[in-house]
Amino acid sequence: MTRRVSIFGATGSIGCSTIDLIERDPDGFEVVALTGGRNVDLLARQAKALGAEVAVTAHEECLADLREALSGTGIEVAAGEAALTDAARRPADWVMSAIVGAAGLPPGLAALEQGATLALANKESLVTAGPLILGTARDHGATVLPVDSEHSAVFQALVGEDMAAVERVIITASGGAFRDWPIDKLASATLEEASSHPNWDMGQRITIDSASMFNKALELIETREFFGVRPDQIEVIVHPQSLIHALVGFNDGALMAHVGPPDMRHAIGYALNWPERKPLPVERLDLARIGQLEFRAPEDARYPALRLAREVMEAGGMAGAVFNAAKETALDGFIAHRLGFMDMAGVVEGVLTELSGDTGLMSAAFTLDNVRAADHMARIRAEEIISGAKTPKRSATWT
């Protein structure tokens, strides 16, 4: 049976891996929408190769180039935020959410509203608006499947299990680019140094977030939202080889681990073929050659983002949206050489501390408008702190 699929963020790392799998089964899929950013040439090539119905760029100023690149093909073109959400409303069976950042939320919600199965690589959707995403899926009989490797691993370890028997969930972290650096050298880490990952080949933003562990911080919150476990049941362990992606601990002491090569096509393919398992073109691990698996506890001083994530989970409400937006703005600041590597956590903590005092904002209902308002306020505050207009108020405990 042919399935209708759309890919949001088709030109990125996850998007290209998704297309790689789809192209291996040309009769299995009909491609509805593909979206990208400024990389119009790649988007146009993908749309032609897959015979997409519509190609959408996030940027209005790129529309003319996209139209020209696809002229005479019969493929529709569109641009802008509203066009992305419109594309997500086109009927599709399976939708990949692989835009990076909070911009991935509105198209994901629109896909769920039309009942599609949403393969969620965009962890920011769950971090900023977990109850909204899962509630929308419930209301429309839609399914959300995790694509983040750790969450796909937990999901697979839970097949056939009773959540009541789960004691803990352990997600692994490679430790990122700086796991072996002296801590006092981290403040001077450069953009180039932070942009290379020891194990995974990913987009630049998530690669830097892996070095700072803001990525793992988002994933802690994502775990809580997706699986409904308490924060004290979730652990992070540094596992430099990235072969075990997560473990689930049960009440009889058993730990079920998911082991596989660091290749996102596994988690993407699992979501693409779910509830079946089908052959995937990933490496088969040779355990004798690997020999040993290594684990260490994450150090608090190296990875302040993990403590901040725990404070966000404790606070609940809009804290996730504030945290993510402050983090995205701080990351922009680091990429633009306006902030040092270790300053990012200070900016995020400053924004969390300030906005936590706004109880109306923090306890607002989970609607798209409220999530956007929290996101917007956090970005303004973060920018003020970065530009020096405001000194961050620091507190050891944020409630």
Which residues sit at the interface with ligand NAD, rule CB under 6 A?
9-15, 36-37, 58, 98-101, 103, 121-124, 148, 200, 202-203, 205-206, 264
Q: Shortest approach of Mg ion to residue 245 CB, angstroms?
A: 8
For residues 198 and 250, which CB has a smaller minimum distance to ligand NAD in the complex? Answer: 198
Whether 93 contacts 116, CB under 8 Å: yes
Provide the 8-state DSSP code for 390. Answer: S
Smallest distance from ligand NAD to CB 386, Å: 19
Min dist CB 56 to Mg ion, Å, is 26
Measured from each CB, the residue nearest to Mg ion is 148
In this chain, which stretch among 125-133, 143-151, 272-280, 292-300 interacts with Mg ion, using CB under 5 A?
A: 143-151
- Residue 315 CB coordination number (10 Å): 18
Q: What is the DSSP string of 252-285?
A: TS-EEEEE--S-THHHHHHHHHTTS------PPP
For residues 376 and 108, what is the distance between their CA atoms, to the nearest angstrom? 19
**Phi-psi bin for 44: left (phi > 0), alpha (psi -120 to 50), beta?**
alpha
Nearer to ligand NAD, 11 or 353 (CB): 11
Q: Are 238 and 302 in contact (CB under 8 A)?
A: no
Name the strand (E) or helix (H) holding 1.
none
Looking at beta carbons, which residue is closest to ligand NAD?
A: 12
CA angle 272-109-25, nearest 5°? 20
Least separation, in Å, of the C-beta of 207 and ligand NAD? 8
Closest contact distance (angstroms) between CB of 219 and Mg ion is: 5
39 φ/ψ angles, rounded to the nearest 5 degrees: -80, 70
Burial class (CB in 10 A: 0-12, 13-18, 19+), 203: middle
23 Cβ contact partners less than 8 Å away, ≥ 6 residues apart: 49, 50
326 residue type, one letter: A
100 or 351, CB closer to Mg ion? 100
Which residue from 53, 65, 148, 328 is in contact with Mg ion, where contact means CB under 5 A?
Answer: 148
How far apart, in whole angstroms, are the C-alpha atoms of residue 108 and residue 41?
24
**Binders of Mg ion in range 107-126 (CB under 5 A):** none
Number of residues that bind Mg ion (CB under 5 A): 3
Q: How far is the CB of 366 from Mg ion (least distance, A)?
A: 24
Nearer to Mg ion by Cβ, of 108 and 262: the residue is: 262
Kindly tell me which of 14 and 347 has the beta carbon lying closer to Mg ion.
Answer: 14
Query: Minimum distance between the CB of residue 49 and ligand NAD, rounded to whole angstroms?
Result: 16
Beta strands in the chain (DSSP E): 3-8, 29-36, 54-57, 76-79, 94-97, 117-120, 143-146, 166-173, 234-238, 244-250, 255-259
> Which CB atom, from 65 or from 150, has the smaller least distance to Mg ion?
150
Tell me if 209 contacts Mg ion by CB under 5 A: no
Whether residue 50 contacts residue 11, with contact meaning beta carbons closer than 8 Å, is answered with no
- Give the one entry of ligand NAD, Mg ion, none that residue 354 binds, where binding means its C-beta sits below a cut-off of 5 to 8 angstroms depending on kind: none
**Residue 337: both structure tokens together:** 């050489």
Question: Residue 100: which of ligand NAD, Mg ion, none does it interact with, CB under 5 to 8 A by kind?
Answer: ligand NAD
| 156 interface partner picked from Mg ion, ligand NAD, none, CB below 5 to 8 A per type | none
- Smallest gap from Cβ 139 to ligand NAD, in A, equals 24
Distance CA 398, CA 319 (A): 11
Query: In this complex, which beta carbon is closest to Mg ion, that of residue 149 or of residue 329?
Result: 149
Minimum distance, C-beta of residue 116 to ligand NAD, in the bound complex (Å)? 18
Pick the piece of the chain touching Mg ion (CB under 5 A) from 59-67, 130-138, 148-156, 269-277: 148-156
- Indicate the residue among 150 and 384 with the shorter CB distance to Mg ion: 150
Tell me which residues touch Mg ion (CB under 5 A).
148-150
